[in-house]
Each structure stands twice: as structure tokens, then as C-alpha cells.
Chains A and B, each alone.
Chain A
Amino acid sequence: MSWESFVMMMPYITVVILMAIGLYTVLFKKNLIKIIMGIAIMQNGANLFLVSLAYRRGYIAPIFTSAESTDMVMPTPHALTLTSIVIGLATTALMLSLTMMIKKHYDSINTEDMRRCKE
């Protein structure tokens, strides 16, 4: 891969790096908060992938209010990214509240401490 094409591929490579970081965190960490952070990083990677799919070189945001030209990037991935962000927020809130209840019951958020069923 030449340098030029590497620079052209930079957003996709960033997506892969974000996904790898999130996947590593989910697979190897024992702390529930860290696992949730890894899932959030993976969500951000997916959002960045969608937005970078929508881009057209040299075009502007798809909003006509005092726009400088009518060459606009594609609006549909942006709308779906908006949906995806809100769904990610909802799932993150649910995961965090479940973690709070786990902390209350087991007095720990380490996944190995809650293997055995207490009581």
C-alpha cells in the first residue's frame, strides 16, 4: 500500500483501530465499567464508519440554509448515525444501571467475583 492510498484510507483505518481497542477491552478486561467503555468505543467506531461512508470529496453538509453550493454529501447515513447514537446512549444507560445493581448485590464489579452464586 503506497503512502497516498494509506492517507486516502485513513478514516477506515481509524475505524479498525477503534474496533480493535473496543474488542480487546471487551475480551480481556474483568472490570464491568471497562467492558462498557469498550462497547462504547466500538459504537463510536461504527458511527465513524457510517459517517465516512457518506462523505463525498469536496462536498458540504446537506443543509440548504445559507449554503455555498448545492454539492452535498449523502444525508441517509447521517440520519442513521443519529439513530445509532441515541440507541447507543439508551443501551449504555441500561448497562450502567445494571452494573450499579451488581455493585450493590455483590459489592464488586469484577466479573470473576460474581461467578459463584452467593446465598
Chain B
Amino acid sequence: MKKALALVAFFVIFSFLLLGVVQMRPFGEPENEDMDDYFLGDSQKRHEVNNVVTAVLFDYRGLDTLGEATILFAAVSGVLTVLRRFKDKEEGEK
């Protein structure tokens, strides 16, 4: 029963993905590129930066990077919390 449900879910999602591929625009021909063309022209004018990806990452979309760095910090805090030493169980170690 549970396996049949999982199978149905798998095939429904898979067919939705295939439907998306059939309706997708051709590879390599994007439709809306105004913003990216603006970034390509503006990054050297305003920031004097050659690497446009870095300019997008740290300036135009800097808040995304800030959130991402915070997520990394939170994940490290989570790892340190999960893998902390349990004193009652492992006092023999070290």
C-alpha cells in the first residue's frame, strides 16, 4: 500500500517534469535578458570589476549572499550542537 502510493507519487511528479521539458523553450535561446545585459554593461562602469558573476554575487544581489553566509554559519552551529561531546557517555575518551 505504502509502496504503491510512493510509486504513484513518483510517476505523477516524473510526468509533470517531462511535461515541463516538452513545453520548455529551446536550449540556449532565453527570452528575457534585459536585466542580465544591464549587469554585463554596468559592472565595469560602476564597480570596475571584470568578473560579472562576482559583481552580481556581492553587489547587485548581495543580500542573497548575506543570507547564504548566515545559513552556512547556522549549519556549522547545528553540526557543532549535534556532534557535541556527551559527558556522561564518553568520559573515557580523551
Bound pair (A, B): yes
Q: Does chain A have a CB within 8 A of B17?
A: yes
Specify which chain A residues have a CB less than 8 angstroms from the CB of B3 in the assembled complex. Answer: 28
Main SS of the interface on chain A?
helix
Interface pair A93/B10, CB less than 8 Å apart: no
Q: Is A117 at the interface (CB under 8 A from chain B)?
A: no
| Chain B interface, >50% SS class | helix
Q: Which residues 2-34 of B sit at the A interface, judged by CB distance below 8 A?
A: 3, 6, 9-10, 13-14, 17-18, 20-22, 24, 26-30, 33
Within 8 A of A (CB), among B42-60: 44, 50-53, 55-57, 60
How many contacts between A and B, using CB within 8 angstroms? Answer: 128
Report how far A13 CA is from B28 CA in the complex, Å.
14
Chain B positions within 8 Å of A, measured between CB atoms, are 3, 6, 9-10, 13-14, 17-18, 20-22, 24, 26-30, 33, 35-36, 39-40, 44, 50-53, 55-57, 60-61, 64-65, 68, 71-72, 74-76, 78-79, 82-83
Nearest first, the 9 A-B pairs at minimum CB distance are A90-B75, A57-B28, A74-B36, A62-B52, A79-B56, A64-B50, A75-B52, A79-B57, A27-B6
20 contacts between A and B (CB under 8 A): A1-B22, A9-B26, A9-B27, A12-B20, A13-B21, A15-B21, A27-B9, A28-B3, A56-B28, A56-B29, A62-B40, A62-B52, A63-B51, A74-B33, A75-B36, A75-B55, A78-B53, A87-B68, A94-B82, A98-B82
